[in-house]
Amino acid sequence: MAEDERVFSHDNLDLEEEGMPSCPAPEDWRAELVWVHYKLFQPPESHPELAEGLPDCGIGWLGILDRLCTQLQYLLDEEGKGNTIKLMQIKEEQGLLRVSWNGLLSQSTTANADKLIELACACSACTCEICSEEGRLYRRGSYLATACDLHAKGERVPMKPGLENIYIRRGEINGKIQILSCRRYDPKTNSFTDVSPASLGLE
């Protein structure tokens, strides 16, 4: 395949072959993701395509979503009965993946679920939404999109060197807005590591 024809195909990723018992695997990748992870999406019977959380993003993020769903299901299985997660919305917003859910979980499991979602969203920030290659943020008029060099249309959003994949959380401590956490996302290991804000020239 010529380089400029590179598009992420459904065949690039093997989803589980088992899914909803009430219907065969759908052809559309969004519905198939729901079909495989139906316990998390809780779609109407035999209609994975009608799930509230049906992804509204590009196929390049399918691998991120499949991994996230597998990890969330594992978390639930570990936690035991009575704990539920229903994925309510999965969408692209400002070039990033957004995932929201409802459910009944213990406080610690909620924190773990949120951490997995945070990692998936950080991963989307460096993954082309069209083909799943390494991506960066581009501005297309009033829209932002994460894309590889090939699928980039528009202008690259400037990023200060050294601040790539840095996530900073600020909050109020003693009436003053301060940095609560400063982390770098590593796409190779899909993990965050703490970074000293001072080492990045931040206060």
Q: Which residues bind Zn ion (CB under 5 A)?
A: 128, 130-131, 133, 148, 151
The answer to whether the beta carbons of residues 69 and 36 sit under 8 Å apart is yes
Cα 121 vs. chain centroid, distance in angstroms? 4
Q: Please give the Cα distance from 185 to 192 (Å, whole number).
A: 5
Residue at token pair 């202008």: 155
Q: What residues contact residue 112 under an 8 Å CB cut-off, 6+ apart?
A: 75
Nearer to Zn ion, 105 or 152 (CB): 152
Nearer to Zn ion, 23 or 126 (CB): 126
If residue 33 lies in a helix (H) or strand (E), which one and from where to where?
helix 29-36
Nearer to Zn ion, 136 or 151 (CB): 151
Quote the least distance from Cβ 134 to Zn ion, whole Å: 9
Quote the least distance from Cβ 14 to Zn ion, whole Å: 20
Quote the least distance from Cβ 127 to Zn ion, whole Å: 9
Nearer to Zn ion, 157 or 180 (CB): 157
Quote the least distance from Cβ 65 to Zn ion, whole Å: 17
Nearer to Zn ion, 71 or 124 (CB): 124
Q: Which residues pair with 97 in a beta bridge?
A: 92
Alpha-carbon torsion 66, 191, 198, 155, what sign?
A: negative
Quote the least distance from Cβ 30 to Zn ion, whole Å: 18
**Alpha carbon separation from 75 to 19, 70, 85, 151 (Å, rounded):** 18, 9, 10, 35
Quote the least distance from Cβ 59 to Zn ion, whole Å: 10
**Alpha carbon separation from 60 to 74, 151, 193 (Å, rounded):** 23, 11, 25
Nearer to Zn ion, 54 or 145 (CB): 145
